[in-house]
Structure 1
Amino acid sequence: MPTKKLILLMLVVSLSLFVASFFGITWTFIILCNAVVLFATFLDLFLSPNKRQLSFERVLPQEMERDITYEVELKIENHSDKAIKFRFKDDLPQSFKRPFPYYGTAEKDRATIVTYETAAPVRGEYTINQLYFRYRSTLGLWEKQKTVNMEKTVKVIPDLTETKEYLENAQKFLLHEGVKIKKQNSSVGEFAKVRNYVVGDDPRKINWRQTAKLQEVMTNEYEPEHGKHITLLIDCGRMMGVELKRGNRLDKSLEAAIAVAAAALKKGDYVAVLAFSKGTKVYVPPGKGMEHLQTILKAVYNLKADAAESNYGVVLNYLQTVQKKRSLLLLFSDVKTFLHEESALAYLRRLRQRHVFLMIGIEDEELRKQIKKQPSDMQSTMVKSIAQQQMVFKKREKNRWEKQGLQMIEAKEENLAVTAISNYIDIINRGLL
């Protein structure tokens, strides 16, 4: 393909010959000049490296976490005796960050490695196939294109940042609304270890023998019995597709659910996962051990929010058939939508006799913003009034459900995982299972 440089050259030559024609130059001279220029350009094209002298290898991760930046490495082997200037576009999906075209230079008779950064904001499985590579001739008058087939499948999974943070520093997740919740009945749990006494520990658990021996105040630490059953319920209905600052409600719920699963599996509990909308979409039976986290991740990473409303009654009825053992039912859903489902209340009353139920949703920041906003005209006053009415309804219905032992909690999107894990640990430590 001709480059802008070649087109500009031909325009300059043509303009020069046009001006010279007024001074009586012959047609022979004009044809000869054009022939010389064309011969020079084709010679430049002929002497440029052949496509077969170029080979490519792309290296990118098989799994990418949502909205996390990764480096993709492209190895370009130039087997010719000429350096080339190139630009390329990779066949990334449109939802990916695409820093193209990418410009660079490949040295002669050697391999050149270039890297670019990309990020995927939407979960799912994607196929990255072709690479579109263009390089210029020595004089830059022509540009050759080579399309390379390099098929690669990439899975975009939920952001595991909070899961990794918990596994590295669990104490960070033991705080909820500024109050330490790692408390338990003194008669519940088994001895774990002896550690240094810190402010807030029960003085009755001081180990006086070790204190006298080490000349430091030491205390016994107990932990709950392991092997409890945790069932994570993930709503994939219409309201879970509502966009947030980063991703949507389903994205944040999945990331929080995986963090809770990691916390429970690390403590030796059994974890099951049930994702649903109109019906059951995914069910992962109870499993134990950190390897079960990969099973859960593979099952739920590609979940999408449906356009239909969730059918809580059908799902809770199905749950009674598959979960016979007493467990903690941790539901990630939209609280406001759930409160309108009176049919679910009958099923939950039966489930409550055997299981512990806790629902966690994402706080509606826009609703709180409208309530705090000072009205300036009639319209803003009406908006604030409706927002206050919605908040009163939500609080009234939540109180009605909580009186029947069905607890509901809302958290800010950035604190969803912390809130879920801290409440899970609180329930376990209080021996409610």
Structure 2
Amino acid sequence: MKQFFKSLYLSTRFFTAFFSIAVLFIISYFFPGLFFVAQMLFYLLMGLLIIDIILLYRNKTGIKAKRALPDRLSNGDNNTVRIELQNTFSFRCFLNIIDELPVQFQQREFSRSISQASGTTKEIQYQVRPLERGEYHFGSLNIFVSSALQLVIRRQQFSKETMVPTYPSFLQLKKYEFLAFTNRLKSYGFKKIRRIGHTLEFEQIKEYIPGDDVRTINWKATAKRNQIMVNQFQDEKSQPVYSIIDTGRVMKMPFNQLSLLDYAINATLVISGIALKKQDKAGMFTFSRKVENLIPADRKQSQMQRIIETLYNIQTDFAESDFERLYVDIKRNLKQRGLLLLYTNFETLDGLYRQLPYLQAIAKNQLLVVIFFENTELTEVLEKPALSTRQIFEKTIAEKFVYEKKRIVNELRKRGIYSILTKPESLTVDTINTYLEIKARGLL
């Protein structure tokens, strides 16, 4: 009985009818002839109320519902949540679905309203976009059922509290891995790379496809097969590719609700997967006051899982990053020359000059690529027309900071250090482009 009253709600329609009848009773004090009408309407309302309760509670099963969650959420991406509904009532029901989302989404009034015919099964979907890694706790799935009378609402609860971990963007990993091995790269912003040369190791003769170097056409095979055939040369393999993530305070800056650190983590996951697919050795580590989370470059089948689990727990420590310590640890631990993708951020030339001696020292023995970020908010300021004195000052200051970023790129280039200045949302694409270009040109 206690459970019955906990699940029973009276609808707005019932209270509207009840108060209307109450007003009619009050009016009947002055017009006695209306008293009988009000009395009949009250009995009718109570009768319909009892009928509605019987309709909704006679069937103990009522609505069957199940929330289907992915095993893990992908950070920064839209993840689909499915709710499966089955109506076992003998009549059409009206459902109000309220799902208790994790507190991280800050959606306290999430609901969907639908109607469902008797004996049918429905599925509704919605998407959630997590903006930080960690544990996300979904609460109960609440289904509020009403009949065509809509005087009474029966609440049913399903899918008690469920925890789903949010990992770095593995959806991006799948997407870019596919694009990196097809000829659809250009449509997603990947630039076409002209090969300067080949390694000496011949791999196979294959049919020509658009994008192949015409200089590799094998004329004898072409004449024999009566279709264009090209020689395919094998890229050099098993080269170390390290992603180095700065976890200092400069990486806590947010853009489009994600921190620079999370953009770097998502890009690290993708580039590690592509490097392994290209049969290179992928590794990673983080640094701030010291080097941490070191995963030596390897090609083992378990390497991606190790990288994913490590990236899941990375957080900023709000300290100033020690590039001298970074140089010492790289010198000590990385004996083989490899590609180092350093994700960090420099806002001013002075900030670069303090670290430049250590970057130059790293670049002597390794192929170093320094990756830092455009301030897209400043770009938006520059694109708006200045209509007041204050806006003119703001635009002037924004131009100064944007120009500083370009000077940083030039300073690194003058010292023979590769660099990528990228928008946060373009980080993954630009990093893949750079990796593929380095591989194509045989710079490692």
Equivalences, count: 430
- Could you state the TM-score of these two structures normalised by the residue count of structure 1? 0.81
Please name the residue that 1:62 is paired with.
71
Structure 2 counterpart of 1:84, from 76, 93, 96: 93
> Alpha carbons of 1:225 and 1:339: their partners in 2 closer, same or farther (altered >3 Å)?
farther
Match of 1:181, SS state, is coil
Name the SS for the 1:351 alignment partner.
Answer: helix
Question: Which stretch shifts more, 169-178 or 320-329?
Answer: 169-178
What's 1:74 paired with?
83
In the TM superposition, what whole-angstrom CA distance separates every residue of 1:329-367 from its partner, at most 9, and x where no partner exists?
101222336961555444434433321111122323444
Letter in 2 for 1:120: R
- Tell me what 2:195 maps to: 183
Q: Name the SS of the counterpart of 2:162 in structure 1.
A: strand
1:429–1:59 distance in 2 versus 1, CA, 3 Å: same
- The 1-side partners of 2:91 and 2:211 are apart by 72
> 2:14 — aligned with what?
6
Moved more, 174-183 or 125-134: 174-183
Aligned-partner SS, 1:268: coil
1:196-245 deviation line (CA, Å, top 9, x unaligned): 39788474x54343244345554423232210001001233333343434
Of residues 249-258 and 375-384 in structure 1, the stretch that sits farther from structure 2 once superposed is 375-384
Instruction: Name the SS for the 1:286 alignment partner.
Output: strand
Q: Do the aligned residues in 1 keep the contact of 2:349 with 2:404 (CA within 8 Å)?
A: no
Alignment of 1:10-409 (within 5 A): 10-24=18-32, 37-38=45-46, 40-49=48-57, 52-54=60-62, 55-66=64-75, 68-81=77-90, 83-96=92-105, 100-108=110-118, 110=119, 112-124=121-133, 125-136=135-146, 139-157=149-167, 158=169, 160-161=171-172, 163-170=174-181, 171=183, 173=185, 180-186=192-198, 188-195=199-206, 196=208, 201=213, 203=215, 205-215=216-226, 218-245=229-256, 247-280=258-291, 282-288=293-299, 292-301=303-312, 303-305=314-316, 307-336=318-347, 340=351, 342=353, 344-368=355-379, 378-409=389-420
Gaps of 5+ in 1: none
The answer as to 2:441 corresponding to 1:430 is: yes
What percentage of aligned pairs have identical amino acids?
Answer: 23
Matched letter for residue 226 of structure 1? K
**In 2 relative to 1, CA 189–115 (structure 1 residues): closer, same or farther, beyond 3 Å?**
farther
Cα distance, 1:161 vs. partner? Answer: 3.6
Contact 1:63 1:156 in 2 (8 A): yes
CA deviation map 1:126-148 (0-9, x unaligned): 12131122222563222222333
**Aligned mates of 1:199, 1:130 — CA distance in 2:** 53
SS of the residue corresponding to residue 150 of structure 1 reads: coil
Structure 1 position 305, deviation (Å): 5.0
Q: d(CA) in 2 for partners of 1:133 and 1:179?
A: 50
Instruction: State the shift of 1:424 in Å.
Output: 1.7
Per the alignment, do residues 178 and 247 of structure 1 end up closer, same or farther by CA in structure 2, a change over 3 Å counting? closer
> Does structure 1 residue 410 correspond to structure 2 residue 418?
no
TM superposition score normalised by structure 2: 0.79
Amino acid at match of 1:222: F
In 2 relative to 1, CA 198–172 (structure 1 residues): closer, same or farther, beyond 3 Å? closer
Superposed CA RMSD in Å reads 3.9
Distance verdict in 2 for CA 1:407–1:168, change over 3 Å = closer
Cα separation, partners in 2 of 1:219 and 1:301, compared to 1, 3 Å = same
Does the aligned pair in 2 maintain the 1:316–1:344 contact within 8 Å? no
CA deviations 1:87-133 (Å, max 9, x no partner) are: 1211112554968322233545x463331211214142312131122
C-alpha distance in structure 1 between counterparts of 2:141 and 2:245, whole Å: 38
